Amino acid sequence: MAEVIEVPAVDDTQAALAAVLALRRLANQLESAAVVHAIGAGWTWADVGQTLGISAQAAHKKFAPLLPEPSPRSRTRSRKEKQ
Amino acid sequence: MSFRDKAADVRTVNALLTGAEQEALAAGDDLPGVEHLVLAALGLPDGTAADVLVGFGVSDASLRAALARVHADALVSVGVDGSVREPDVAAGRRVGPRGFRATATADQAFRAATALKQSSGADRLLGAHVVAAACEQERGTFPRVLQALGVDRAALRAACEEKLARQARG
């Protein structure tokens, strides 16, 4: 049987709330890294959005600023692909 | 305030808010917090935030290291390995084309900084206004970072005010 993960007991309120912030930050870092990896591997924003339970537009708005600037060559290529 | 001062003030506010947002984005935080405003204030060309913090033995690098340590220690307290790699802010990440959004505490700190600027009669917002305003936060990440660095919040605030008074006298 899988080990049950229990929510740690709150002995110190300040420390517990600081841990919440740090965990949220860690989750965001993992999310950003995974999305950048997914887009680099050819996933569409619709794929990413569906996986995260948000719309493709919301995924693009949130994560597109994390991507490296597309090179002029890749911009031309993606325009051609759309045509 | 002359048109020139006004334009310089707008540029400073823009650099501060964009910098804070960039710091937050690179760190994986949804919205800029007080600690991101302070990091952005350290990068402002007026140099007043950096001058005050140097007086407490704090540099941009040591502030970032303390911030990472505070988060890592918090993770350890709930059983997560604290050796989290800190993202590189200078890695060319872009801030999206949208209006500035921040946590309620950062928003409050920014308002307090601009109020301090007005009450001190300064021509424009300076980094030390931001650090002084940040010192008003009693709980949260920034006070924990100051504690980790062994910096007294009230003493830092007083040093900022002293620096601003000197600056105003020219």
pLDDT tens for B6-50 read 788 888 999 999 999 989 888 888 889 999 999 999 999 999 999
CA of B93 vs chain A CAs: smallest distance (Å): 6
Q: How large is the average pLDDT for residues B67-87?
A: 80
- The C-alpha R_g of chain B, in whole angstroms, comes to 16
Asked if residue B149 belongs to a domain, the reply is yes
Does any domain span residue B99? no
Chain B residues at the A interface, defined by Cβ less than 8 Å, are: 25, 27-30, 70-72, 74-75, 77-80, 84, 87, 92-96, 98, 139, 141, 144
State ipTM: 0.76
What span, in angstroms and rounded, lies between the C-alpha atoms of B12 and B110? 12
Say yes or no for a CB contact (<8 Å) between A61 and B93.
no
Name the pLDDT band for B135 (thresholds 50, 70, 90): very high
Are residues B87 and A29, on separate chains, in Cβ contact within 8 Å?
A: yes
pLDDT, tens digit, for every residue of A34-79? 999 999 999 999 999 999 999 999 999 888 888 877 655 544 555 5
Digit-coded pLDDT (tens) for B92-119: 455 544 567 889 999 999 999 999 999 9
Domain with B12 in it: 3-79+113-169
Tell me, yes or no, whether B147 lies in a domain.
yes
How many domains does chain B fold into? 1
Residue B85 inside a domain? The answer is no
Q: How far is CA B5 from CA A41, B8, B116, B120, in A?
A: 49, 5, 17, 15
Q: Give the span between the Cα atoms of B130 and B46, in whole angstroms.
A: 12
Question: Is residue B84, in this structure, part of any structural domain at all?
Answer: no
Residue B39 sits in a domain whose CATH number is 1.10.1780.10
Whether residue A10 lies within 8 A of chain B, CB to CB, comes out as no
